[in-house]
Amino acid sequence: MKRRTRIAPSPTGIAHVGTAWMSLFDWGLAQQTDGAFVVRIEDTDRRRFIAEAESEIYRAFEWLGITYDEGGQKSGPHAPYHQSKRLDIYQNYATQLEEEGHLYPCFCSSDRLKEMRDTQQKNGTPPGYDGLCRALTQEEIIANKDAGESYVLRLKTPTAGTISWNDAIRGQISFDLAHIDDAVMIKSDGFPTYHFAVVIDDHLMEITHVLRGEEWISSGPKHLLLYRYLEWEPPIFAHMPLIRNADKSKLSKRKNDVSIMSYKEKGYLPEALVNFIVLLGWSHPEGKEIFSLEEFLKVVSLDRVQTTGPIFDTKKLDWMNGQYIRSLSKEELHTRLVPFLPRDFPLDQYHAIIPLVTERLVTLADVEGLTAFFYRTPEVPANLLLKRADGSLVAEQLKLLITTLDQVGTWEAAEIERRIRSLGETHNYHKKQFFMMIRVAVTGSTQTPPLFETMEVIGKQAVLERLQSAQQLAQAA
């Protein structure tokens, strides 16, 4: 069977990493059978609709390398792929189901519904519609409609029995229908709710596999009832685990950075982010940690998806991104780094500076912080400069160092190192203190690339000027 899968994002905000995560599984499952991966835009929530949100989804997909076969910015045999353009379709099925008695009009006001919910909460009873309008006669319904009363259409749920399905990830799932309330299917403005539109669209677009988060498990009975009432075969459902924080709370756009494009801005490589997110709740059949998108698409399967909520571990993402950065060729690294280089970066020294910091890059955006002292005079913290010796000793060391380095003819790392080591040994300076003091005086930091190569790149004149400034600082201490 050729699999047809879909992702159905709502254009209500940022392009979410969870959307990319689900899309990658959808895409791989469809591609393995020469099927189709569909992008459908669920834009019926007009109160939360953001016009530019949809285009951000496509930009995020393009950056991550995710492609699709139908929908989105492409046409296809099941167009239109925007729910807001499919209202006539939903209305036709709603009319059919109302005529058949599977949907019924509810005229309850918002005040009445609030009072009902407050009472349920007070009495500790399960929340849900109490079925008041379910008992209306046809004459009462007609009279209310003729009077212009506002109404929604609710699903007439059986009051007894069970409904179940075999989930592709979780196995058999069953619900007691007595605990399923009569959910709204068509809102008072004529727009469908998610529950109604998703069933209609998935069937008409011939979706064979529906992947979605475990929070939608409780909606399964409503959707299966619609499939039953419409006499349609339901797709295969697979409820993925919820992505969680380290404290096990749900990953949330209110509390977490879940924007795909923000990871681009922070300097993460798209291939690293893809590799990281597909390992959320899934494992490679060979136990690999690092692998390409192409490899994932070939080996992905639902039987390796865990039901326990995976942790969005940013430390692991950082490690993985660093691995990908160091796997780039010099030419590719240059191409990726250029957008992150600060304006005052000396491009003529690029090939001298970057090799010294590549091993320490976690993200591409780290390049400024790791290289700034090469081309900007750093501020030297006195506490670090004098951490292991008093001001008089440091001032003396720097004075001799300046004299020694001023005599260096060929300013190269090997000669710089020879002169400095000789000076330290002659005066029996404590190695750790002496070399750390030089590093701080030259770079303003205790953590830098190899000291002597760094000094070579900074240049003789700049190094001497920095040492002189540090000497003055030590004398004043």
Residue pLDDT, tens place only, 208-218? 999 999 999 99
Q: What is the mean pLDDT of residues 74-90?
A: 95
Q: How far is CA 375 from CA 26, 343, 348, 357, 439, in A?
A: 47, 11, 12, 14, 15
Residues 6+ apart with CB under 8 A from 57: 9, 11, 15, 19, 39, 72
Percent of the chain with pLDDT over 90: 92
Strands 103-106 and 152-155: antiparallel
In the structure encoding, which two tokens stand for residue 342, read together?
């600060």
In the structure encoding, which two tokens stand for residue 357, read together?
């910091």
Which position has the higher pLDDT, 251 or 416?
Answer: 416
Model confidence at 247, pLDDT cuts 50, 70, 90, reads confident
Model confidence at 319, pLDDT cuts 50, 70, 90, reads very high
- Count of Cβ atoms closer than 10 Å to residue 81 Cβ: 22
Predicted TM-score of the model (pTM): 0.92
Q: Which of 114, 253, 288, 298 is catalytic?
A: 253
Tokens 């929070």 found at: 215
* Residue 321 near residue 362, CB atoms below 8 Å: yes
Residue 183: enclosing H or E segment and its boundaries? none
Is 253 a residue whose pLDDT tops 80?
no
Rounded to the nearest 10°, the torsion over CA 55, 57, 62, 65 is -170
- Count of Cβ atoms closer than 10 Å to residue 119 Cβ: 11
Transcribe 90-145 into DSSP letters. HHHHHHHHHHTTSEEEE---HHHHHHHHHHHHHHTPPPS---GGGG--HHHHHHHH
* Residue 167 near residue 223, CB atoms below 8 Å: no
Model confidence at 297, pLDDT cuts 50, 70, 90, reads very high
Cα–Cα distance, 239 to 256 (Å, whole number): 23
* Amino acid (1-letter code) at residue 334: H
Is 46 a residue whose pLDDT tops 80?
no
Q: What is the mean pLDDT of residues 247-268?
A: 84
* Amino acid (1-letter code) at residue 156: K
Pick from 159, 186, 170: nearest CA to 220:
170
* Residue 127 near residue 117, CB atoms below 8 Å: yes
Cα–Cα distance, 343 to 346 (Å, whole number): 9
Model confidence at 4, pLDDT cuts 50, 70, 90, reads very high
Model confidence at 48, pLDDT cuts 50, 70, 90, reads confident
Cis before 80 (ω within 30): yes
Chain centroid to CA 12: how far? Answer: 16
Active site residue 255: no
* Residue 37 near residue 30, CB atoms below 8 Å: yes
Q: Residue 249 has what pLDDT?
A: 83
Q: Residue 257 has what pLDDT?
A: 79
Q: What is the mean pLDDT of residues 366-380?
A: 97
Q: Residue 254 has what pLDDT?
A: 63
Pick from 97, 39, 32: nearest CA to 67:
39
In the structure encoding, which two tokens stand for residue 119, read together?
């009472």
Q: What domains lie within the chain, and their CATH numbers? A: 86-240 (3.40.50.620), 382-476 (1.10.10.350)
Q: What is the mean pLDDT of residues 57-61?
A: 96
In the structure encoding, which two tokens stand for residue 376, read together?
């900007």
Pick from 307, 302, 304: nearest CA to 30:
302
Q: What is the mean pLDDT of residues 42-54?
A: 86
Is 239 strand, coil or helix?
strand
* Residue 129 near residue 181, CB atoms below 8 Å: yes
